Amino acid sequence: MKLSVQTKRYLIIVLGIIIFLPPISLIPSIFGSLSICGAPFCMRMLFSIEGFIAMSKVLFVGLFMLIVIFAISFFAGRFFCSYVCPIGGATELGSKIVPKKLKINYSWISAPAVRYSYLAAFLILPVLGVGSICCSYCNFSIISSLFGSIASPSSRILLITFGGMVNLAMIILLGFLAAGGRAYCNFLCPIGAIDGIFNWLGSKIKSFKRIRIDKTNCGSCGQCVEECPVWAIEKAEDNSMKINQISCITCKICIKKCPSKAISYRKG
């Protein structure tokens, strides 16, 4: 039996959930942790007020993962976000069981504008002494608690706190109920925001493979625009389709959906 690319991707996401998140938490267990939230895993705290170099001492696994993720994104595309990330993957898989009628389409919002102003706030507000949005509103923490709550009463209690409720609402609205299930990733993931820049920089080098559209074959039907979970494909002024590499997560859904086979993962 030959599995499709998307089935393989979903299976890898499930594997990511099993090895990174409670109740199994295979890899965090090796380091005496419960999930990828907190030391030594958190990749987001590396950009907090304490400073990258200081935090990298306690978040050494997170730093290693960050280097690997950014390197993969630069050379090959955002495969961590689309294939491995247990957080974005969990919301994407969760959104599959929500009926289409209930789905919210956020594609009218400029995702890069929200994403990079959120990233700016994430980096600047602690420096200004205003406070931090690093942990209180983090989906790494809430998805871990959500999976942990299956067997742990302490995780269930954290879900009923103010931060837990706000996070849960955001996960539901921007994750499970979002068309494509990746609105949270697209708007509020600081790692994804930086990863997008690496992906965009790598796409400028023609010898690196990326999701690209062959304009000669493209029928401008707009099917790819409809299906992209991160609304990274847009219609250009000349009616041709254009991939926004700063948002693309290399999930390859558009390749499967394109009726004229104009989209492929190839060199530029």
Partner 1 sequence: MNRKKHLFIIVLTIVITFMVCTIAAMYTPPNFGHSVTMISNDGGISRHPVLLGLDEEEYVLFASGTVKAPYTGSIKVVLEGEPKIEHKIYSRYPPSLNLGIHKFHEFGNDTIKNIYPWEKYALVVYIKPKNKIDKAANYNLRFYDLESSNIVLSIPIKFNELDNFNISKEVRRPYSKVRDSKIINPRKKDTISISKYLHKVSCCEE
Interface with partner 1 by CB under 8 A: which residues? 22-26, 29-34, 38-39, 49-51, 54-55, 57-58, 109-110, 113-114, 116-118, 120-122, 125-126, 129-133, 135-137, 148, 150-155, 157-158, 160-163
Q: 178 forms bridges with which residues in the sheet?
A: 104
With contact defined as beta carbons under 8 Å apart, do 219 and 259 qualify?
A: yes
Shortest separation between residue 48's beta carbon and partner 1, angstroms? 10
With contact defined as beta carbons under 8 Å apart, do 25 and 34 qualify?
A: yes
Shortest separation between residue 154's beta carbon and partner 1, angstroms? 4
Q: Which of 184, 109, 81 is nearest to 141 (CA)?
A: 184
Shortest separation between residue 129's beta carbon and partner 1, angstroms? 8
**Which is nearer to partner 1, 38 or 181 (by Cβ)?**
38
Shortest separation between residue 149's beta carbon and partner 1, angstroms? 10
Write the CB contacts of 91 (distance below 8 Å, at least 6 apart in sequence). 139, 143, 171, 174, 175, 176, 178, 181, 182, 184, 185
**Which is nearer to partner 1, 77 or 86 (by Cβ)?**
86
**Which is nearer to partner 1, 60 or 200 (by Cβ)?**
60
Shortest separation between residue 144's beta carbon and partner 1, angstroms? 10
**Which is nearer to partner 1, 73 or 155 (by Cβ)?**
155
**Structure token pair of residue 198:** 């690496």
**Which is nearer to partner 1, 147 or 176 (by Cβ)?**
147
Distance CA 237, CA 252 (A): 24
**Structure token pair of residue 216:** 């000669």
Distance CA 88, CA 20 (A): 13
Task: Compute and round to an integer the Cα radius of gyration of the chain.
Answer: 19
**Which is nearer to partner 1, 6 or 152 (by Cβ)?**
152
Distance CA 103, CA 22 (A): 27
Shortest separation between residue 43's beta carbon and partner 1, angstroms? 17
